[in-house]
Amino acid sequence: MTNTTDRHVFDENDIQITDPKSYAAGVPAVLVSLRRGLEQMGPLRTARTLARLNQRHGFDCPGCAWPETPGHRKAAEFCENGAKAVAEEATTRKVGPAFFAAHSIPELLAQTDFWLGQQGRLTHPMIIRPGGAHYEPIGWDEAYAVIAEHLRALPSPDEAIFYTSGRTSNEAAFVYQLMIRSFGTNNMPDCSNMCHESSGTALTETIGIGKGSVSVTDLEDADLILIAGQNPGTNHPRMLSVLEKAKASGATVIAINPLPEAGLLRFKDPQKVNGVLGDGAQIADEFLQIRIGGDQALFQGLAKLLLEEEDRRPGTVLDREFLDSRCAGFEQWAEHIRAVDLATVLEATGLTREQIEQTARALIASNATIVCWAMGLTQQTHGVATIEDAVALLLMRGMIGKPGAGVCPVRGHSNVQGDRTMGIWEKMPESFLQALDDEFGIRSPRRHGLDAVDSIRAMRDGAAHVFMAMGGNFLSATPDTDVTAAALRNCALTVQISTKLNRSHLVHGRTGIILPSLGRTDKDVRNGRKQLVSVEDSMSVVHLSRGGLTPAGEQLRSEVAIVCELAQALFGPDHPVPWRGFADDYDAIRDAIARVVPGFDDFNTRVRRPDGFVLPHPPRDERRFHTATGKANFVVNDLDWVPVPEGRLILQTLRSHDQYNTTIYGLDDRYRGVKGGRRVLFVNDRDLESFGFAAGDRVDLISEWPRPDGTVEARRADDFRLVPYPTPVGNVAAYYPETNPLIPLDHVARKSNTPVSKAVTIRLEAHTPRREGAAAPGTAPGRPSPGSPGRGELVHRSVAWDE
């Protein structure tokens, strides 16, 4: 496997560590994006592709869900990591029948995620039959027939599971959920279950709609912006330009994070001369280095200080008019908050009293406050409660439904919000199901379906037998990798509709099928006409996306076509849904969406406007709250936080600067000073010392989970380098998905069932190399552990550019 002449060969044990950077973007970012494009696509395709990224006549960036600035788009409305996402998809490397013939499943399982992703675009439908070791080509019609046969053979439709990742367009998502509900189940887990489910749950309960209430303009107009549990420099880089603008017009930005993330400290805008030459703009005015899981304590502590100031100087803090006319539950909540013990708040947050008082003063001084957040808040046991307390902090001062103020959950996948709007949810409300039934003459099932965690349980326990995924990488994205692997292998059939090879293709059911699909950048022609799709960004703006690249092969089909063709095979010619018409003309799908989904009237016309259109949002538009009380709700939550048990550490699992979720772009985390490897554990100097380790030591991570019977379940992830880092004492960080085998399936957030990826109790052991060939724990002998990708060095096949 070794080819030392190849310049891409990495020895993951040869990791270089330098000091973390205190600024994001700038010239290195421009260079990295061009280099990645050239490596994957060659010069012509790179120039052509990047010129269309996020432009009105181009395609929506398959990176994050951050909106485009309406009206004035720059020539280059993208970031380094958007360019990497595009290069990853628009690559000219290919994975076809010859590749699968050459590599058996055990061989592929031994490769790293990085290596798998680097092999290129999937080009042919493939099948692996019971007992087989290789995927083999299969025709589309035969593949559909195999899937339909398996689905029809199930005793109940609820024994099938249909996953969705968040890149799927509105049109594809709508026909997909229509097929699934026509089949008879609501088992529709999606990546949102592992992402912003806590936000959706908290916002629905408090303000009556599970979406953010602000626009880009609001951010620019804000007086005060809190950014909690989010790393925009890496994951939403275009947000930095907006923050820079907000600051130029006087906003104060407070970053709340256990880590001093580069993007929050300083930002150099590569689009501007001073960004290239100068020191860049200071983004965060204050950095609250909070302990992992301390945010609810911070929000409750702040609320208490605000209530006390109102007592001292009545009428100066609370928006009484708003509270009286628009809110419910304030008095009860305030009574609860007054009883909060500030000593506990200081212990839970690790902050000083002065820091909290200063933040309280900033909240009182601000006439327009926005709270932004992402995974640092949602992936916590008390994620829903934390967000409800953040909302309460805004509501008490009337900070919603007015310019420059509101809630801003910053979404991940580029259409994760749109997929939900289109009905990808295991518990869509009755009004949606009824509208769907009325439009199509079907009978949607009413019983709620399974989310991601419950789907794994069902497959593990033999209660579900067919698993199908519209994009994503279910195995690597979900917690408890070995348990998920066993669950998937327990299925009769697994089907992956994908653009790129990933670990989920290698851990399959008795029969496994791969269906290669077009991506966002690809030209989609049906019936001689170029088809358009639409997406909804993090701020509820719906707009078109038009791919333009020549697809990786003749065999690729669009997600819409795949769903409609499978539905025809499954339901036969007499089904009431016009599948054929939908596959040939996406305008017809949009016309149906317009009749079923609120806010989409005149969809086909409005989506063709230059900047698309904004969906209704009652709290933002008219300060109306469609909750059970008809008002904005203050919810009383007991204070919860994450103490560090003696001799243990709390691990958060996060993204490096060189990955898109489970897709690994490269092995460098530039802003955090890591080069050439991913198996690192960021740890405070004092913990290094107290545990008797030195920088660079190799350790094994063992997570501990108490069973109901009092015993402890241990999970391991082996061989991580210790990297001293400015993280709070007792709190450590490492990358996902390498650490997912450590997260117990039952470690979930209350109410949202989201895996708690940001607070896992672990201990360290000095790394003991395992005997060569010995099976990793949790796997059958001879079968490589799906969660511990092999350390095989990276070897690139030579590829010929076709453009």
Strand ranges inside 223-322, DSSP E: 224-228, 252-256, 266-268, 281-282, 286-288
Interacting residue with ligand MGD among 234, 369, 481, 637 (CB under 6 A): 234
258 binds, among ligand MGD, Mo ion, none (CB under 5 to 8 A by kind): ligand MGD
Q: Interface with ligand MGD includes 758 (CB under 6 A)?
A: yes
The alpha-helical segments, DSSP class H, found in 422-558 are 430-440, 452-460, 474-477, 481-489, 503-506
Interacting residue with ligand MGD among 275, 376, 509, 666 (CB under 6 A): 376
Provide, rounded to whole angstroms, the least separation between the CB of residue 488 and ligand MGD.
13
Provide, rounded to whole angstroms, the least separation between the CB of residue 220 and Mo ion.
25
Provide, rounded to whole angstroms, the least separation between the CB of residue 194 and Mo ion.
7
Selected range binding Mo ion among 389-397, 404-412, 511-519, 760-768, rule: CB under 5 A: 404-412
Please identify, using beta-carbon distances, which residue of 46 and 257 lies nearer to ligand MGD: 257
**CA-to-CA distance for 355 and 352, rounded, in angstroms?**
5
Interacting residue with ligand MGD among 91, 490, 499, 785 (CB under 6 A): 499
Distance of alpha carbon 739 from the chain centroid: 16
Closest to 652 in 3D by CA, of 742, 732, 747, 765: 732
Residue 616: phi, psi to the nearest 5?
A: -65, 150
The residue with its CB nearest to Mo ion is 412
Number of residues that bind Mo ion (CB under 5 A): 2
Q: Interface with ligand MGD includes 422 (CB under 6 A)?
A: no
Interacting residue with ligand MGD among 215, 455, 757, 788 (CB under 6 A): 757
Closest to 257 in 3D by CA, of 670, 764, 727: 727
Selected range binding ligand MGD among 6-14, 202-210, 233-241, 542-550, rule: CB under 6 A: 233-241
Provide, rounded to whole angstroms, the least separation between the CB of residue 651 and ligand MGD.
10
CA dihedral 605, 165, 667, 548 (to 10 degrees): -30
Token output for 531: 């088809």
3-state secondary structure (DSSP) of residue 635: coil
**CA-to-CA distance for 422 and 177, rounded, in angstroms?**
8
The alpha-helical segments, DSSP class H, found in 675-768 are 685-690
Selected range binding ligand MGD among 2-10, 200-208, 654-662, 717-725, rule: CB under 6 A: 654-662
Cβ contact 281:244 at 8 Å? yes
Closest to 467 in 3D by CA, of 492, 503, 445, 502: 492
Please identify, using beta-carbon distances, which residue of 195 and 507 lies nearer to Mo ion: 195
**Helix, strand, coil distribution of the chain in percent, nearest 5:** 35, 20, 45
Please identify, using beta-carbon distances, which residue of 108 and 654 lies nearer to ligand MGD: 654
Provide, rounded to whole angstroms, the least separation between the CB of residue 234 and ligand MGD.
5
Provide, rounded to whole angstroms, the least separation between the CB of residue 373 and ligand MGD.
8
**CA-to-CA distance for 337 and 634, rounded, in angstroms?**
11
- CA 788 vs CA 13, 647, 747: distances in Å: 15, 25, 20
**CA-to-CA distance for 638 and 296, rounded, in angstroms?**
9
The residues near 713 (Cβ < 8 Å, ≥ 6 apart) are: 704, 705, 706, 707, 744
Provide, rounded to whole angstroms, the least separation between the CB of residue 473 and Mo ion.
12
Token output for 723: 């990297």
**The Cα angle at residue 521 between residues 516 and 525, in degrees rounded to 5:** 70
Provide, rounded to whole angstroms, the least separation between the CB of residue 477 and Mo ion.
9
**CA-to-CA distance for 537 and 545, rounded, in angstroms?**
12
Q: Interface with ligand MGD includes 520 (CB under 6 A)?
A: yes
What residues numbered 180-219 form the site for ligand MGD, per CB under 6 A?
191, 194-195
For strand 533-536 and strand 541-545, is the pairing parallel, antiparallel, or unpaired? antiparallel
Cβ contact 667:659 at 8 Å? no
Please identify, using beta-carbon distances, which residue of 163 and 625 lies nearer to ligand MGD: 163
Q: Interface with Mo ion includes 368 (CB under 5 A)?
A: no
Please identify, using beta-carbon distances, which residue of 299 and 660 lies nearer to Mo ion: 660
**CA-to-CA distance for 414 and 79, rounded, in angstroms?**
14
455 binds, among ligand MGD, Mo ion, none (CB under 5 to 8 A by kind): none
Contact map string, positions 532 to 571, toward ligand MGD, x by CB under 6 A: ---------------------------x------------
Interacting residue with ligand MGD among 54, 92, 111, 165 (CB under 6 A): 165
Selected range binding Mo ion among 181-189, 191-199, 259-267, 281-289, rule: CB under 5 A: 191-199
Interacting residue with ligand MGD among 336, 413, 670, 672 (CB under 6 A): 413
Strand ranges inside 165-320, DSSP E: 224-228, 252-256, 266-268, 281-282, 286-288
**DSSP β-bridge partners for residue 144:** none
Provide, rounded to whole angstroms, the least separation between the CB of residue 261 and ligand MGD.
5
Please identify, using beta-carbon distances, which residue of 349 and 662 lies nearer to Mo ion: 662
Q: What spatial distance separates the first Cα and last Cα of the chain, rounded to whole Å?
A: 29
Please identify, using beta-carbon distances, which residue of 444 and 739 lies nearer to ligand MGD: 739
Interacting residue with Mo ion among 87, 172, 188, 195 (CB under 5 A): 195
Closest to 739 in 3D by CA, of 441, 552, 478, 440: 478
Q: Interface with Mo ion includes 412 (CB under 5 A)?
A: yes
Q: Interface with ligand MGD includes 259 (CB under 6 A)?
A: yes
For strand 659-660 and strand 663-664, is the pairing parallel, antiparallel, or unpaired? antiparallel
Cβ contact 235:374 at 8 Å? yes
Cβ contact 298:356 at 8 Å? yes
54 binds, among ligand MGD, Mo ion, none (CB under 5 to 8 A by kind): none
Interacting residue with ligand MGD among 659, 761, 785, 788 (CB under 6 A): 659
Omega cis (within 30) before 737: yes
3-state secondary structure (DSSP) of residue 239: helix
Q: What is the DSSP letter of 521?
A: T
Interacting residue with ligand MGD among 33, 119, 199, 740 (CB under 6 A): 740
**CA-to-CA distance for 702 and 721, rounded, in angstroms?**
14
Cβ contact 292:759 at 8 Å? yes
Please identify, using beta-carbon distances, which residue of 415 and 540 lies nearer to ligand MGD: 415
Q: What is the DSSP letter of 671?
A: G
**DSSP β-bridge partners for residue 633:** 328
What residues numbered 41-70 form the site for ligand MGD, per CB under 6 A?
63-64
Selected range binding Mo ion among 2-10, 190-198, 714-722, 781-789, rule: CB under 5 A: 190-198
Interacting residue with ligand MGD among 490, 633, 653, 761 (CB under 6 A): 653
Please identify, using beta-carbon distances, which residue of 359 and 444 lies nearer to ligand MGD: 359
Q: Interface with ligand MGD includes 222 (CB under 6 A)?
A: no
Interacting residue with ligand MGD among 23, 135, 440, 474 (CB under 6 A): 474
Interacting residue with ligand MGD among 186, 252, 473, 703 (CB under 6 A): 473
Q: Interface with ligand MGD includes 254 (CB under 6 A)?
A: no
How many Cβ atoms sit within 10 Å of the Cβ of residue 527? 9
Selected range binding Mo ion among 96-104, 194-202, 614-622, 646-654, rule: CB under 5 A: 194-202
**CA-to-CA distance for 526 and 175, rounded, in angstroms?**
16
Cβ contact 682:725 at 8 Å? yes
Q: Interface with ligand MGD includes 15 (CB under 6 A)?
A: no
Binding site for Mo ion (CB under 5 A): 195, 412
Q: What residues make contact with ligand MGD under the rule CB under 6 A?
A: 63-64, 81, 165-167, 191, 194-195, 228-231, 234-236, 256-259, 261, 290, 292-293, 295, 374-376, 379, 412-413, 470-474, 477, 497-500, 502, 517, 519-520, 559, 652-655, 659-663, 736, 739-740, 743, 757-758
